[in-house]
Chain A
Amino acid sequence: MDLHFGKARPTSAERRAIDEVLGPPESGWVGGRRRPEIDGRFARGGHEARSRRHLLLPAFHAAQARAGFISEGALTYICQRLTVPPAEAYGVASFYAMFSLTKRAPHVAHVCDDVVCRLKGAEEICERLEEYLGPSGSANTREGATWLRSPCLGLCEQAPAALVTRAGEKPLEAGMGAATADRVLEALRDAGPDDETLEDPPPVALPQFGDPELRLLARIGHVDPESLDDYRAHGGYEALRRAVELGPEGVIREVVDSKLVGRGGAAFPTGRKWEAVARAPVRPHYLVCNADESEPGTFKDRVLMEEDPFAVIESMTIAGFATGCERGYLYVRGEYPLAARRLSLAIASARARGLLGHDVLGLGFAFDVELRRGAGAYICGEETALFNSVEGFRGEPRNKPPFPVVSGLFGKPTVINNVETLVNVPSIVLEAGPKYAQTGTAQSTGTKLFCVSGNVARPGLYEVPFGETLARLLERAGGVPGGRKLQAVLLGGAAGGFVAPGEIHAPLTFEGLRAIGASLGSGVVVVFDDTADLRDTILRIAAFFRDESCGQCVPCRVGTVRQEEALHRLARGKAIGSAETEARLLEELAQVMRDASICGLGQTASGAVLTAMKKFNLFSNGGHR
């Protein structure tokens, strides 16, 4: 490689933290101490060295967790260790919102100001923090603490939410539900709450707790998420045994018969995906569990991972067994520290018991899981962007085709499934596909998790069979509280669309929602009462897409900016031409983004905005309410 390094060096603390992830350097050529007699005679590099690039993100996490930012010295050292040109590594690090390449305070509060938290007073928290710590993102190294506005942290049922990170010798990251400015400030203080207090998980909001109908959520709240034995005592790993009895073809047959479709939003038949990879002649095959749950309003995968992590690992093992993958990558969004901790623990326990490794349970197949953490990039939930992110590149989506089943992670045939999709697999294997397919409707089988948040009495995670109406789901959640009336529901998140009160009797199925121009997406149900300012919501959504667009393709990079600008003009009553011409412009932008963006982000970036404008007549009075 043609590598040119600057003179910056890491601190010894940074070096130790990075070595913790990468192991000690093998020679002076890769950042170790120069040993002229040995290094002057031999060096290894080439394929082996370049094949370690996928460790770039873990190394960045280590450096940032130690120093609070990725210093030039740390970046240089990581590049030496992994044979990556520093300019490229800089491009990767700067892609992610959670990494800082400039010095900043070691204690950081990421305060969610996204759709749901705004309904619950996020702006008031932000105002208070600004008073104490200065504006969002100020370096504030003197105070030792700073704060940042953040897109959805996936704690919507506990909104408003924050995520506190403390860099140092013993780094700490913890989500905070029901956040207040005082609690955030307390958590940022040096002598603030100790690690354990801060890391104490908030109680799970599972309004259906105890309901015998629950399938995906059956164990949640009952099982100790940190105990493999407890998981097995609750029926864990029975499905893996059964899967091995069925054999790979048998498992795939059951999954095909179950008519299971992907729960990440695209609703692609899971069995067909598995078949394609199982048949692919190119080896190795990879399994990827997409746990980069970043759609605003979504928290279902977080709950599954935090409360039933072994189920995720067992499901991945079955998928790997069925599709001939010996390695699975579990990509968890960076904002989920508790999920990452519990999954790591689960992986380690499963390995220790021979449930992962080169000969799983002595049953003659190899499978292991590697956990990867994102670092704040919505786009990495797009499957090909996620591959690039794991491989150590900027998380920019690839053109399709080739599809992942042909050329996915590391260019190999890859099964990529969402967490919720995978955790359906054990029950499919245990009860057989046709039986599973009896739940739900003919085209939408099984149960679905819904993330209900906003202005409802009982926000939380709900599991209902496909086919139940939105109205019934809202009823389960206790409806709009405080005598208020329902104004709107955002279904499917920022990439989804708004539903008017008159439409809530539509059944929650893929086909039923298509009829009212909405989509199930990732199962987001954000409820707005009649006091909510929908214009504020769509401005936030427009800002979200502008911020999260990776910038790779023009329609999305430019379109998301133009969309936000037009909405701001409408909101300020400063339309160019008339409100109608602006509306036409927004339609046109939406069309271009849908037709010409290379990935789903651009293609869906205008859905919520347009449905809101169509259904709610938001700017008819010149924008002033």
Chain B
Amino acid sequence: MFGAGGGTSSYQEMEEADVIVLWGSNARETHPIFFHHVLQGIRNGAELYVVDPRRTGSAQWADAWLGIDVGSDIALANAVGREIIAAGLHNRTFIDRATTGFDAYRAKVESYTLEFAERATGVPREHIRELAHAYARADRAQICWTLGITEHHNATDNVVALINLALLTGHVGRYGSGLNPLRGQNNVQGGGDMGAIPNKYPGFQDVEDPAVRAKFEKAWGVSLPHEYGWHLSQMYEAMDRGELTTVYAIGENPCQSEADQHRAVRLMSNLEHLVVQDIFLTKTAQLAHVVLPAAASWSESEGTVTNSERRVQRVRKAMEPPAGARTDIEILCDLARKMGRDWGHPTAEEVWDELRSLSPMHAGMSYERLEAYNGIQWPCYDESHPGEKFLHARLWEEPVRGPRAPFSAVDFEPPVDELDEEYPIRLTTGRRLDSYNTGVQTGGYESPLRRGESLDLSPEDVRRLGLEEGERVRVSSRRGSVVAPVRIDGTLRPGLAFMTLHFPDEVATNLLTIDATDPRSGTAEFKATAIRIDRIATDGAENAAIAQGVGTQSA
């Protein structure tokens, strides 16, 4: 937020909040550890609001669930903002002192009336009003989100629309109030913090800032690029143009995890040279020219991870890696040596200490202190600094230290993959409790909850299409088609379907999804695909007419 990409609050604050809004997040299933803190908050009396097209496991815990249309988040957020202003519930003191751009924001949201939002989101206006009032009136309020917000073509706008609400009400920079993107893995936060993003050096220092660049060039003894690199979607485009011919993928399975999988596989297959460093022989690794077997970073090597509350924690080696597998540091240093740079044989702690010398927000986090405090939350500027429970306290200082937080007026744009008569059903994707992403890390284990991939449909759609539970149907989008068994899911409404990408070998869901990508974050719109459903006749011929007349319009 406002420069550094991390949740503003600590988990403990969830336990002491008055209102928690989970927006586009099914934390109950996808962030079960985080959700324990939410449950503690509920137990302590917090009200939970869940905004999600599906009535998920999280939504079933909620005091109120708002079942919006997929991709209508900005319409809802702007209407909430408008209602807060109209009801006089915005925090004028905070707005005047700590923000910029309020007038433009107010002008922008003026047209987002409750009536408009009801049409755009499908949620009755009184419930939108209730959410607005509950959030604005709360003493401590949290907004938490996940991929329901970010896996859209306008992901950044979605995030900004939520940030605006916190600025409007002053629900940021104070204990108990905040804005929290929940990270999907134990160390997604750490990856970004360490500079594994195309525009930042470690510690969110800008690549295009000459002073920053000079610092890193001096430390590393090399000259560094002057411009931002490519994010993943831009890399695919560059592959398509023939500009990117060599890829070194570390711990990533893009052949199955990316939208429009046909295209992803084609592009990866056409590379001149593909190196994959992983602990499993993934689909991507199977296409590689060179596979570098790696040690597991959570048990076979030393290091740190950083969670969603910005807490850096030590990871300790518990066992030897299997024969031939080596730690990432060993592999990278060997590679450097082959390229003529001798980095020696640094320990994980030595690498970390170099990071601390270059990233001010990590400077105070010695291994010794990380162990003593059971992890430290960044920023931690020196060895006397305890770390920060929550970010942006400066916005409440008088006068505000540093730049003020800007409102960004954004408009609602519906998903790129539009519904029409041919593709009348909205497919959204997500995860289930027992499986993780493409199943690389979870598919190897038994789970009593696992039931394989399915096309989840509302009972009404199943009835209308004359389908039966378990029947295999063809699911087609404008990009591809897959065959999947039907499952009746009462948490879905007519016109809304759900699939996961947990079982790409059985059902390659990402053959359906669209790679319409947010230009700033590089994230594709996995959450909104227009599909049709065709029955497969017993003789193998397909009945193409079946899906006609089904969908949100006729529902």
The answer, yes or no, to whether B129 is at the interface (CB within 8 Å) is no
Bound Cα distance from A44 to B459, whole angstroms: 21
Is B67 within 8 A of A42, CB to CB? yes
The answer, yes or no, to whether B61 is at the interface (CB within 8 Å) is yes
Chain A 1-37 interface 0/1 with B at a Cβ cutoff of 8 Å (1 = within): 1110000000000000000000000000100001011
**Interface residues in A65-87 (C-beta closer than 8 Å to B):** none
- Chain A residue numbers with a CB within 8 Å of B28 are 2
A40 and B60 in contact, given A46-B42, A46-B47, A47-B47 (Cβ under 8 angstroms): no
Bound Cα distance from A44 to B131, whole angstroms: 12
- Chain A residue numbers with a CB within 8 Å of B48 are 46
- Chain A residue numbers with a CB within 8 Å of B360 are none
- Chain B residue numbers with a CB within 8 Å of A46 are 42, 47-48, 61-64
Is B490 within 8 A of A34, CB to CB? yes
Chain B 513-547 interface 0/1 with A at a Cβ cutoff of 8 Å (1 = within): 00000000000000000000000000000000000
- Chain A residue numbers with a CB within 8 Å of B122 are 40-41
The answer, yes or no, to whether A192 is at the interface (CB within 8 Å) is no
Closest approach, in angstroms, between the C-beta of A343 and any C-beta of chain B? 34
The answer, yes or no, to whether A45 is at the interface (CB within 8 Å) is yes
Nearest to B60 among chain A residues (CB) is A1
Chain B 31-55 interface 0/1 with A at a Cβ cutoff of 8 Å (1 = within): 0000000000010010110000001
Chain B 7-48 interface 0/1 with A at a Cβ cutoff of 8 Å (1 = within): 000000000000000000000100000000000001001011
**Interface residues in A524-579 (C-beta closer than 8 Å to B):** none
Bound Cα distance from A29 to B48, whole angstroms: 17
Is B63 within 8 A of A41, CB to CB? no
A41 and B124 in contact, given A34-B490, A36-B493 (Cβ under 8 angstroms): yes
The answer, yes or no, to whether B158 is at the interface (CB within 8 Å) is no
Nearest to B66 among chain A residues (CB) is A42
Is A40 within 8 A of B493, CB to CB? yes
Contact of B63 among A29, A34, A45 (CB under 8 A): A45
The answer, yes or no, to whether B323 is at the interface (CB within 8 Å) is no
The answer, yes or no, to whether B422 is at the interface (CB within 8 Å) is no
Bound Cα distance from A39 to B59, whole angstroms: 13
- Chain B residue numbers with a CB within 8 Å of A29 are 55
The answer, yes or no, to whether B460 is at the interface (CB within 8 Å) is yes
Max chain B CB contacts within 10 Å: which of A1, A42, A44?
A: A42
Is A41 within 8 A of B67, CB to CB? yes
Is A34 within 8 A of B459, CB to CB? yes
Bound Cα distance from A42 to B123, whole angstroms: 7
Tally A-B pairs: CB < 8 A. 68
The answer, yes or no, to whether B150 is at the interface (CB within 8 Å) is no
Bound Cα distance from A41 to B55, whole angstroms: 9
Closest approach, in angstroms, between the C-beta of A166 and any C-beta of chain B? 37
Is B60 within 8 A of A45, CB to CB? yes
Max chain A CB contacts within 10 Å: which of B42, B48, B62, B494?
A: B62
The answer, yes or no, to whether B339 is at the interface (CB within 8 Å) is no
- Chain A residue numbers with a CB within 8 Å of B42 are 46-47
Is A43 within 8 A of B460, CB to CB? no
The answer, yes or no, to whether B407 is at the interface (CB within 8 Å) is no
The answer, yes or no, to whether A194 is at the interface (CB within 8 Å) is no
Is A40 within 8 A of B494, CB to CB? yes
The answer, yes or no, to whether A48 is at the interface (CB within 8 Å) is yes
Closest approach, in angstroms, between the C-beta of B131 and any C-beta of chain A? 10
- Chain B residue numbers with a CB within 8 Å of A39 are 493
Closest approach, in angstroms, between the C-beta of B40 and any C-beta of chain A? 14
Bound Cα distance from A36 to B60, whole angstroms: 16
Bound Cα distance from A29 to B55, whole angstroms: 10
Bound Cα distance from A47 to B55, whole angstroms: 17
- Chain A residue numbers with a CB within 8 Å of B369 are none
Bound Cα distance from A324 to B403, whole angstroms: 53
**Interface residues in B110-143 (C-beta closer than 8 Å to A):** 122-124, 127
Bound Cα distance from A42 to B63, whole angstroms: 11
Nearest to A39 among chain B residues (CB) is B493
- Chain B residue numbers with a CB within 8 Å of A40 are 67, 122, 458, 492-494, 496
- Chain A residue numbers with a CB within 8 Å of B59 are 43, 45
Bound Cα distance from A47 to B62, whole angstroms: 8
Is A41 within 8 A of B64, CB to CB? no
Is A42 within 8 A of B65, CB to CB? yes
Nearest to A42 among chain B residues (CB) is B127
Contact of A41 among B45, B57, B60, B493 (CB under 8 A): B493
The answer, yes or no, to whether B372 is at the interface (CB within 8 Å) is no
The answer, yes or no, to whether B222 is at the interface (CB within 8 Å) is no
Bound Cα distance from A1 to B61, whole angstroms: 5
Bound Cα distance from A48 to B494, whole angstroms: 27
Closest approach, in angstroms, between the C-beta of B508 and any C-beta of chain A? 29
Bound Cα distance from A43 to B458, whole angstroms: 16
Is A45 within 8 A of B65, CB to CB? yes
- Chain A residue numbers with a CB within 8 Å of B460 are 36
- Chain B residue numbers with a CB within 8 Å of A41 are 66-67, 122-124, 127, 493
The answer, yes or no, to whether B555 is at the interface (CB within 8 Å) is yes
Bound Cα distance from A40 to B57, whole angstroms: 15
Bound Cα distance from A48 to B63, whole angstroms: 7
Closest approach, in angstroms, between the C-beta of B35 and any C-beta of chain A? 10
- Chain B residue numbers with a CB within 8 Å of A3 are 60
Closest approach, in angstroms, between the C-beta of A33 and any C-beta of chain B? 12
Max chain B CB contacts within 10 Å: which of A37, A44, A46?
A: A46
Bound Cα distance from A45 to B492, whole angstroms: 17
Bound Cα distance from A389 to B122, whole angstroms: 42
Contact of A36 among B47, B57, B458 (CB under 8 A): B458
**Interface residues in A207-266 (C-beta closer than 8 Å to B):** none
- Chain B residue numbers with a CB within 8 Å of A2 are 28, 57, 60-61
Contact of A42 among B64, B492, B494, B496 (CB under 8 A): B64
Max chain B CB contacts within 10 Å: which of A34, A40, A43, A47?
A: A40
Bound Cα distance from A46 to B22, whole angstroms: 14
A44 and B64 in contact, given A2-B28, A36-B460 (Cβ under 8 angstroms): yes
- Chain A residue numbers with a CB within 8 Å of B127 are 41-42
Is A45 within 8 A of B61, CB to CB? yes
Bound Cα distance from A40 to B459, whole angstroms: 12
Bound Cα distance from A2 to B491, whole angstroms: 13
Nearest to B49 among chain A residues (CB) is A46
- Chain A residue numbers with a CB within 8 Å of B124 are 41-42
Bound Cα distance from A46 to B65, whole angstroms: 10
Max chain A CB contacts within 10 Å: which of B28, B57, B60, B458?
A: B60
Nearest to B64 among chain A residues (CB) is A44
Bound Cα distance from A424 to B296, whole angstroms: 74
Bound Cα distance from A40 to B460, whole angstroms: 11
Bound Cα distance from A29 to B459, whole angstroms: 14
Is B62 within 8 A of A45, CB to CB? yes
- Chain B residue numbers with a CB within 8 Å of A37 are 493, 555
Closest approach, in angstroms, between the C-beta of B253 and any C-beta of chain A? 30
Bound Cα distance from A503 to B417, whole angstroms: 93
Is B47 within 8 A of A43, CB to CB? no
Nearest to B494 among chain A residues (CB) is A36
A43 and B57 in contact, given A34-B459, A36-B460 (Cβ under 8 angstroms): no
Bound Cα distance from A331 to B284, whole angstroms: 67
- Chain B residue numbers with a CB within 8 Å of A48 are 63
Nearest to A28 among chain B residues (CB) is B490
Bound Cα distance from A42 to B68, whole angstroms: 9
Nearest to A41 among chain B residues (CB) is B67
Bound Cα distance from A36 to B496, whole angstroms: 11
Bound Cα distance from A1 to B45, whole angstroms: 15
**Interface residues in B138-193 (C-beta closer than 8 Å to A):** none
Closest approach, in angstroms, between the C-beta of B127 and any C-beta of chain A? 5
Bound Cα distance from A29 to B124, whole angstroms: 17
A47 and B63 in contact, given A2-B28, A40-B494, A42-B124 (Cβ under 8 angstroms): yes
Known: A43-B55, A46-B48, A46-B63. 16 other contacts (CB 8 A): A1-B61, A36-B494, A36-B555, A37-B555, A40-B494, A41-B127, A42-B67, A42-B124, A43-B59, A43-B65, A44-B64, A45-B60, A45-B61, A45-B63, A46-B42, A47-B42
A-B contact pairs, 6 of them (CB 8 A): A43-B60, A43-B64, A44-B63, A46-B48, A47-B42, A48-B63
List the 6 shortest-distance A-B pairs measured between CB atoms, nearest first.
A40-B493, A46-B63, A43-B65, A41-B67, A42-B127, A41-B123
